Amino acid sequence: MTIGIGLLGLGTVGAGVAQILASPQGRHPLVAELALRRVAVRDLQRPRPIDLDSALLTTDPEAVIDDPAVEIVVEVMGGLEPARSLILRAIAAGKPVVTANKAVIARYGEEIAAAAAQRGVYVLIEAAVGGGIPIIEPLKQSLGANRIQRVSGIINGTTNYILSRMADEGAAYGEVLADAQRLGYAEADPAADVQGGDAADKIAILAALAYGGSVPRQAIPTNGIDRLDARDVAYAEQLGYGVKLLAVAEQVGLAADGAAELDVSVNPTLVPRAHPLAGVNGVNNAILVEGDPVGRVMFYGPGAGAGPTASAVVADILNIAGIRQVSGVTSQGQPAPLDPLLAAGSWRPCRLVDPAQTRHRNYVRLRTTDQAGVIGRIGTCFGDAGVSLQSIVQFQAQGGDGGQAEIVVITHEVSEAAFRTAMAAIEALPVVDHVAACLRTL
């Protein structure tokens, strides 16, 4: 039984999906039953990496959804609108949706899930996080028996590619970003990658699945790599760390009303060389899930690009196609009840805790006067605030007038409130010129 697929978008990911559908040999037999019926693009004249019958192409995405031959809608156009409205239109028409659009799911996931549950259709999102890495289905299904304590990872391929090449080759930031765009890793607006927004979208999605309720996307504290100084990467290296853009979601409490209290954030972070995330380089992503009773499970693989992302999109299409086959449902028939694990609805509220109440290790670089007693005064400010230090090191200041030093401090795990108190006192010291960098440390 052939299943009609409608594609919204034929860019990096859409073309990757079309390529898989066009070459089913050697893949699961269900792939051969998927037939591309319509494809929406913005520009009909744009050259494509795949040879498609031009009659399939349209610039009207609604026509794709409304086409009776389209049974599953695949949204890979990106952006918030019209993507959100098109997903809702497909759901209203009773058509299951597969999307790679983390920006839409992180912001409108609740609305979309409610509409899908009411209409009895699946909306599957494996490609939205981690590119080709299976992480959404494992969180929904294979790890469902666990109390999840922490989900942390490198979940933006573009920034990991940039950081890796800067560290390995000393390559220039702008040049490597241009390469990431050419390779199809970056978002249409790469600010989403380098400012951390894409990783924040993804950790919002992972947290919602891991903890059972939606997380307020706009409230996630987010710092990207766009203001990261190469000097901090070099100092980190000398101290035994690599710098990675880490997204973290951790349960820190359980409220009286049953809500999970979460610390969720995205930050450039010093990762000790021996940590499993430190060896994740290039466009690869890795997600470390810590749960009770499973312990630590790490998912690793290519986090962006046409082939890996299309692999995840087609896996979702196959999931839906398989269910339709066993339930015998056609586009005209009544939908079968949804599998609650695959549909993954919310089962409790989730709240972000006040960042001042969270606890972390920190890296700080201070530009100071180079004179006797400076390290002592800085140490006293930390000590007075109850901030315990792991190390404090002086480096030779670069580009200064010779009378300045750079002091690099790594703290033990301390409360954010105490850390802020110490930093306010340090900034007020006459010997401190300015705080040059403040990063997290694992």
User: Catalytic positions, please?
Assistant: 202
CB of residue 36 to ligand NAP, shortest distance in Å: 14
Cβ-based nearer residue to ligand NAP, 71 or 187: 187
Contacted by 9, from ligand HSE, ligand NAP, none: CB < 5 to 8 Å by type = ligand NAP
| Whole-Å CA distances, 114 to 109, 121, 311 | 8, 10, 27
CB within 8 Å of 13: residues ≥ 6 apart: 76, 100, 127, 306, 309, 310, 313
Phi, then psi, of 272 in degrees rounded to 5 = -55, 140
CB of residue 121 to ligand NAP, shortest distance in Å: 20
Asked if 358 and 416 touch (Cβ cutoff 8 Å), the reply is yes
d(CA 384, CA 186): 44
Contacted by 82, from ligand NAP, ligand HSE, none: CB < 5 to 8 Å by type = ligand NAP
Residue 193 interacts with ligand HSE (CB under 6 A): yes or no: yes
364: nearest Cα among 384, 349, 385, 379: 379
Cβ-based nearer residue to ligand HSE, 4 or 132: 132
Contacted by 153, from ligand HSE, ligand NAP, none: CB < 5 to 8 Å by type = none
Asked if 266 and 224 touch (Cβ cutoff 8 Å), the reply is yes
Residue 222 interacts with ligand HSE (CB under 6 A): yes or no: no
d(CA 357, CA 162): 32
Q: Is the peptide bond before 337 cis (omega within 30 degrees of 0)?
A: no
CB of residue 157 to ligand HSE, shortest distance in Å: 4
d(CA 86, CA 65): 8
Asked if 40 and 7 touch (Cβ cutoff 8 Å), the reply is yes
CB of residue 362 to ligand HSE, shortest distance in Å: 26
Please select the residue that binds ligand HSE; options are 99, 158, 222, 311, rule is CB under 6 A: 158
Residue 71 interacts with ligand HSE (CB under 6 A): yes or no: no
Residue 304 interacts with ligand HSE (CB under 6 A): yes or no: yes
CB of residue 172 to ligand HSE, shortest distance in Å: 19
# of chain residues touching ligand HSE (CB under 6 A): 11
Cβ-based nearer residue to ligand HSE, 65 or 271: 271
Residue 16 interacts with ligand HSE (CB under 6 A): yes or no: no
CB of residue 64 to ligand NAP, shortest distance in Å: 9
Pairing of strands 123-124, 97-99: parallel
Contacted by 78, from ligand HSE, ligand NAP, none: CB < 5 to 8 Å by type = ligand NAP
Q: What residues make contact with ligand NAP under the rule CB under 6 A?
A: 9-14, 40-43, 46, 59, 61, 76-78, 82, 100-102, 127, 131, 184-185, 187-188, 304-305, 309
Nearest residue to ligand HSE, scored by beta-carbon proximity: 158
Contacted by 273, from ligand NAP, ligand HSE, none: CB < 5 to 8 Å by type = none
Q: What is the 3-state secondary structure (H, E, C) of 410-440?
A: EECCEEHHHHHHHHHHHHCCCCEEEEEEEEE
Residue 103 interacts with ligand HSE (CB under 6 A): yes or no: no
Amino acid at 99: T
- Locate 360 and state its tokens: 């972390």
Phi, then psi, of 134 in degrees rounded to 5 = -70, 110
CB of residue 297 to ligand NAP, shortest distance in Å: 22
Nearest residue to ligand NAP, scored by beta-carbon proximity: 11
d(CA 409, CA 286): 28
Which of these segments, 73-81, 151-159, 164-172, 271-279, binds ligand HSE (CB under 6 A)?
151-159
Contacted by 164, from ligand HSE, ligand NAP, none: CB < 5 to 8 Å by type = none
Write out the H or E segment, with its range, that includes residue 325. Answer: helix 306-327
Residue 78 interacts with ligand HSE (CB under 6 A): yes or no: no
- Sheet harboring 34-40: ordered strands across? 57-58, 34-40, 3-8, 72-75, 97-99, 123-124
**Residues 169 to 188 in contact with ligand HSE, rule: CB under 6 A:** 185-187
**Residues 263 to 302 in contact with ligand HSE, rule: CB under 6 A:** none
CB of residue 76 to ligand NAP, shortest distance in Å: 4
Residue 156 interacts with ligand HSE (CB under 6 A): yes or no: yes
Asked if 95 and 71 touch (Cβ cutoff 8 Å), the reply is yes
DSSP 279: G
Residues that bind ligand HSE (CB under 6 A): 131, 156-158, 185-187, 193, 198, 303-304
